[in-house]
Amino acid sequence: MNIYDVAKEAGVSPSTVSRVLNNKDNVKEATREKVMRVIEGKAYKPNLLARNLSVGISRNIAFLVPDIENPFFAKILHGISDCALENDYNVFMYDTDENTEREHKILNNLKPELIRGIIITPVSELDGETAEKLRTFEKQGIPVVLVDRDIKGGKLDGVFSNDIDGACEAVECLICEGHRRIAAITGPETSKPGNERLIGYRKALEKNDIPIKSEYIISGSFKEIGSYYAMNELMNLEESPTAVFSCNNMTTLGCLRYFKEKGLKLARDISLVCFDDIKELEYTDIHLTAVLRPVYEMGYEAMQLLEKRFEDGNILDSNKYIIRRHTVNAWLVKRGSEKYNWI
């Protein structure tokens, strides 16, 4: 059943059916109703493939995520997915596995004709190739919205969080507890989150006249295992830290693993504050003091930004191409892990 069948049945031309289907106003009410009756009677649904081919645009968007098993990203995807559903968009999901090459491959295979826009949390901010590819998509009229992480050298739309202030607040909370030997297990410094959280850490120390010791700053690569080794290194220092700032949920797990293995008790032998929450810990003995963010909302808003870009029409047409970057605030929730000698 296609548009010709409907036309014949309704005694009009295909173009009229098309007009009705697309809510054009230049069609007589009586005709519209006549056509609608056939459409509903036969439960006719237009073929999107054909329409997309004809018009040149689809209603699919692609989301490239570094690790869908990380609850942070699952929540982002949930937000995107909800907003997309409400506005009748479909979401392609691609897991880049925190792997730059894989990201390139996926980006290369992405068919412009199949997608209307891209939402991405890029693997690395150092990576010029991804940045280049994304800009190419923009030039082709396929807008890109970044989430959480930025890309190399370039301004693209995005939803980010104020990590500097959040991190600073977290570390100051440690300082308030009397800590002076505070270490940081960071992510890749080349990523916006990794970088900004480190800046926040530095800022807090500087503000409080605590000298920054380079041996107290170790990258855990935003991974549990990396963090575990980093923790090990830290605690083997001659003057080991009394407190740690962990830069994301994965590195936090690495810390916890280390503490557990070494029998270090949180809030007694060691203090910990971290970026991002781990909700499963709520009912355990681990009472994480953490910087929280409106994660679901970040995903939801990314999709909204993308739609705004669709509404803008083709960027190439206008010079008034406004970059939209939104930064949401993070906040600290104290639960006890910032304490020391407490128990």
Can you give the binding site for DNA, defined by CB under 7 A?
A: 2-4, 11-16, 18-19, 21-22, 25-28, 30-32, 46-47, 50-51, 53-56
The gap from C-alpha 108 to its chain's centroid, in whole angstroms, comes to 21
Residue 169 beta carbon to a copy of itself: minimum distance, rounded to whole angstroms: 24
Q: Which of the listed partners (DNA, a copy of itself, none) does 314 bind, with a CB threshold of 5 to 8 Å by partner kind?
A: none
> Cβ 19 to DNA, closest distance in Å?
6
The smaller minimum CB distance to a copy of itself, of residues 120 and 253, is found at 253
Query: Given the complex with a copy of itself, which of 64 and 330 has the nearer CB atom?
Result: 64
Tokens 């894989």 label which residue? 102
Least CB distance to a copy of itself at residue 208 (A): 30
DSSP state for residue 266 in the 8-state scheme? B
Residue found under tokens 């949401």: 328
Helix residue ranges per DSSP H, the chain: 3-10, 14-21, 29-41, 48-55, 71-86, 100-109, 128-139, 163-176, 192-207, 224-235, 249-262, 295-312
CB 207 within 8 A of CB 236: no
CA 291 to chain centre: 16
Residue 55 touches which member of a copy of itself, DNA, none, C-beta under 5-8 Å by kind: DNA
Which residue, 206 or 282, has its beta carbon nearer to a copy of itself? 282
The site for a copy of itself (CB under 8 A) is made up of 45, 47-50, 52-53, 58, 60, 68-69, 71, 74-75, 77-78, 81-82, 85, 88, 90-95, 106, 109, 111, 113-114, 253, 256-257, 259-260, 278, 280-286
CB of 259 to a copy of itself, least distance (A): 7
**Cα angle for residues 12, 16, 18 (degrees, 5° grid):** 130
Cα(251)–Cα(187) distance, integer angstroms:
8
* Among a copy of itself, DNA, none, partner that 94 touches (CB below 5 to 8 angstroms by kind): a copy of itself
Least Cβ distance, residue 56 to DNA (angstroms): 7
Binding partner of 28, given a copy of itself, DNA, none, CB within 5-8 angstroms per partner class: DNA
Choose among a copy of itself, DNA, none what residue 64 binds, the Cβ cut-off being 5 to 8 Å by kind: none
Q: How far is it, in rounded angstroms, from Cα 266 to Cα 77? A: 32
- Report the residue number, 93 or 212, with the smaller CB distance to a copy of itself: 93
Tell me the closest approach of the beta carbon of residue 60 to DNA, in angstroms: 16
b/e per residue, 144-168, with b = 16+ CB within 10 A?
A: bbbbbbbbbebebbbbbbbbbbbbb
Residue linked to tokens 């190399």: 152
4 binds, among DNA, a copy of itself, none (CB under 5 to 8 A by kind): DNA
Q: 14 or 336: whose CB is closer to DNA?
A: 14
Nearest to 222 by CA among 172, 255, 187: 187
Q: Which CA distances in Å does 95 have to 13, 105, 122?
A: 46, 11, 11
